[in-house]
Amino acid sequence: MNTDKTTTMPTKIKFALLLGALVVFPTMAFCNYSNFIKTIDYKPLPGYSAFQLNHDPGDDPFSLDGPGFQFLGNDQCSSVIFQIGLVRAYVGQGKIIHYLPATPDDLKLELEKKLGEKFTNASPAVIGNLGGLTSVSLAAVKTNGMSYLFSWVQLETNIVLKITAVSCDAEKFKALTNSLQSLKLDKKQVLESLEPTKPDIKTSRLNKIEYGFIQVQKQPVATFVFYANDRILSCSSFGDGNYDRTLKAPLGSFAKLRDLSNQPNALRMAIVDIGMDQSSPGEGQKSCSFVAETNAAAISQIKAGDYRLPMEIYVWKIWDKVPEGFQKLGEYKVNAVLFVRKEEY
């Protein structure tokens, strides 16, 4: 019978908190992909290229898998994947992560359990050493001829580096698995690379918000221009495709910012979040949210949550100027803070 185990290990708790944050904030930065891949000292075979895995916790928010990357062969059917994850753990009530014992024997049984249903001809898992660290590995072949090697390299208790080698060709699979002998891991460096990238945050005094539209392929696109003491920032949004609804959606928030402009102890902010996808420079989700709050308890909660609020404007494009062809329809004079947060994910 499995026994739940409480641990106070700082690294594991920190990693779990990062995974938990991804459940709540899917666009939150987890770690710097370039830093993570540099800590995996592996010599890929000729003809293999590295790609970042698309990590979208929305697909399975409780998978407890983190960032990763893949070396894909030119034949498009051979690859080796490296991905961080938690094993012998589960998400319980209140989205709290609980841990089970994770000795090498425990990991061996867990790997066999997880893959036994998918691969009826899988070999028994074996405990070994990969990259200089303890590992458990299991090989399997599918009826279509695809060969697999699954390895979990134990970094710290329940934190593992999941390695999957796969190929449709037996000789290429042998060469691929042999190449894993070149792997070298510095546990400390790998764990440090999982630290979240700190966002770049800039704040300015916001004086005025204009709203209107620009024309894109002869269609109006709702556009909002924020005038601060030291900058101009413009956001355009297609929203749900309904121009009128998209344009009017944030006007209530603008009015609250205006009406509370002289209210003491009020929190007044326009928050612009710019996610930067490292695999596609300049891309990523962009959004705007607004807060005009006088309740002290609500303000404390917003601050404790690092000013992460529900999205009010799904932004298509951002300019550091008034976009060409902007047609102003109205404005709100405000006394607030323009809070711009850029982060990688």
Instruction: Show pLDDT as tens, one digit a residue, over the chain (345 residues).
Output: 344 443 334 455 555 545 544 433 333 334 556 678 889 999 999 999 998 886 544 444 446 787 789 999 999 999 999 998 889 988 777 667 788 999 999 999 999 998 877 887 888 999 999 999 999 999 999 888 899 999 999 998 899 999 999 999 999 999 999 999 999 999 999 888 877 677 899 999 999 999 999 999 999 999 999 999 999 999 999 998 999 999 999 999 999 999 999 999 999 999 999 986 544 444 568 999 999 999 999 999 999 989 999 999 999 999 999 999 999 999 999 999 999 999 865
Q: What is the DSSP letter of 264?
A: T
What is the structure's pLDDT at 208? 98
> Does the residue 3 lie in any domain?
no
Distance from C-alpha of 274 to C-alpha of 340, rounded to nearest angstrom: 8
What is the structure's pLDDT at 9? 42
What is the structure's pLDDT at 22? 41
Domain that holds residue 268: 200-344
Query: Could you say which of 193, 223, 242 is where a domain stops?
Result: 193
50: Cβ contacts below 8 Å, ≥ 6 apart:
37, 44, 69, 70, 71
66 & 149 share domain: yes
Query: Could you say which of 133, 167, 193 is where a domain stops?
Result: 193
> Does the residue 2 lie in any domain?
no
35 & 171 share domain: yes
204 & 135 share domain: no
* Whole-structure pTM value: 0.59
What is the structure's pLDDT at 54? 65
Q: How many domains does the chain have?
A: 2
Say whether 104 sits in a helix, a strand or coil.
helix
214 & 85 share domain: no
237 & 121 share domain: no
CA angle 57-32-17, nearest 5°? Answer: 50
What is the structure's pLDDT at 55? 52
64 & 206 share domain: no
